[in-house]
Amino acid sequence: MNLLENGLVEKFIFKTENKKRLVIGNNAKDYPIYRIRLDKLFYNDQNDRISTWISEYKMKNNIDKIDYSDKESYNKIIHEFITKSNYDAMKKTQQNIEAIGQIEAGVVLADGRIIDGNRRFTCLRNIQEKTQKEEYFEAVILDYSIEHNEKQIKMLELTLQHGVDEKVGYSPIERLVGIYHDIVETNLLTIGEYAKSVNDTEKNIAIEVEKAKLLAEFLEFINAKKQFYLARHLELADPLKELYVMLKKINDEEIQDELKNSVFSQFICKPAGDLTRYTRKIKDIASNTKHLKDYLEEQSQVVEKVCDKLEGIDELTNKKIGELGEDKEIKEEFSRITEKYVSRVAGDITRNAPLKSMEKACYALDEIDLKILHKLKDEQIKDLKEKIIELENITQKIKEEISEL
């Protein structure tokens, strides 16, 4: 017998009068909601919202999978991850449940795995511990298993989490890690399937896939392949977005690779406090091909120093990253070169401003429909002639200034 059959017989599951509509494989159906005793349920360790926490735990404990044969010990581990991943959201959800009860039913598989409602389940566990009164989790119970229905379950999970819980939101890094795992690494979902599940466009998800690949490249660059939790600690979501925009505007693959190496090195060393704002400065440099080549050439020696330091580290940890970020010489060198080329780009913009203004003026004048001039009233013609004289005076001043150069 499975969870539902056992639960009804042994009376740790009770059927309610309520139902929840789910769409699975394009089929919409109303499913009955049950009240399930908490100790019969366990967390979903494949929940994208805590993917970096799971990967960090596996790395630290040198394991491939968290053992859930002892469900209570397993639940304690995941409980901590759920809490830490978004403490403010947890606190708010728990206050709501304490005040008015669980409003939105979750979704549970036949073995007791929770695929929707992990945060609500955590809150109920907290309340039970606090009050010492038995609590029940309200959920639909699907006769599915993670082993045989993985794709359908993942698509349902994404649909539910981007619906009711969207206001809570994913951590941007957790979202990228989930996309990398589901689309790139395991090929579980296509871009189209993922986009449909989260109610987004294929174009937007394709962009997220490219950013997820950039994240994986960064981790390989620092010799920390798939250690995605490091990106969470470094808060790389927005800096990665800026790097993606830079790379899209560069066609030369060699320059793209050099730029990635330079920016990746600066991600790990953090030359400035606000890494996103600092990366935008590099984006300004990247918009000027000539300056970008010179910038990358000058940065290459500093990048080499970072690579040498990374080579000397057996296992990269948050502590080791912190030590790299404390190397003042490297940080100052990165920052000095970046500021130098930011100034050069700004200087070019200032020097090119007169020509840009002239080009805009010429374009605007060229857009005038000469046929309309014959339909103007006398007052309008008078105003137009005055503007022409004003324009001639401005151009004469410019000519005089240029002639003196």
Averaged pLDDT in 10-residue chunks for the chain of 405 residues: 87 95 86 96 90 89 88 94 91 94 94 93 96 96 85 88 58 92 94 92 96 96 91 92 95 95 94 91 91 94 93 85 87 94 80 76 84 87 87 84 77
Q: Determine the Cα–Cα distance for residues 22 and 305; give it in Å rounded to an integer.
A: 55
Residues paired with residue 137 on neighbouring β-strands, in sequence order: 36
Q: Determine the Cα–Cα distance for residues 115 and 150; give it in Å rounded to an integer.
A: 11
Strands 136-142 and 27-37 come out as antiparallel
Q: Which residue has the tokens 């970008």?
A: 292
Q: Determine the Cα–Cα distance for residues 273 and 83; give it in Å rounded to an integer.
A: 27
Tokens of 308: 């040498």
Residues paired with residue 13 on neighbouring β-strands, in sequence order: 36
DSSP, res 64: S
Angle between helices 172-179 and 237-248 (to 10 degrees): 60
Angle between helices 172-179 and 51-61 (to 10 degrees): 80
Nearest Cα neighbor of 10 from 39, 42, 31 is: 39
Amino acid at 204: N
Tokens of 248: 């899209």
What is the predicted pLDDT for the residue at 365?
Answer: 84
Structural contact between residues 60 and 27, judged by C-beta atoms closer than 8 angstroms: no
Helix locations, 223-377, DSSP H:
229-234, 237-248, 253-269, 275-286, 289-311, 318-325, 328-366
What is the predicted pLDDT for the residue at 167?
Answer: 43
Structural contact between residues 83 and 43, judged by C-beta atoms closer than 8 angstroms: no
Buried b / exposed e along 204-241 (16+ C-beta atoms within 10 A): ebeebbebbbbbbebbebbebebbbbbbbebebbebbb
DSSP, res 184: I
Q: Which residue has the tokens 């809570």?
A: 168
Q: Determine the Cα–Cα distance for residues 226 and 219; give it in Å rounded to an integer.
A: 6
Domain boundaries, the chain: 1-168, 171-234, 255-367, 368-405
What is the predicted pLDDT for the residue at 346?
Answer: 81
What is the predicted pLDDT for the residue at 20?
Answer: 94
**Full-model pTM:** 0.80
Structural contact between residues 19 and 8, judged by C-beta atoms closer than 8 angstroms: no
Amino acid at 85: S
What is the predicted pLDDT for the residue at 252?
Answer: 93
Tokens of 144: 């599915």
What is the predicted pLDDT for the residue at 383?
Answer: 86
DSSP, res 180: I
pLDDT 10s digits, 313-371: 888 888 888 888 888 999 999 999 999 999 988 876 667 677 777 778 788 888 888 88
What is the predicted pLDDT for the residue at 350?
Answer: 64
Q: Determine the Cα–Cα distance for residues 109 and 42; give it in Å rounded to an integer.
A: 10
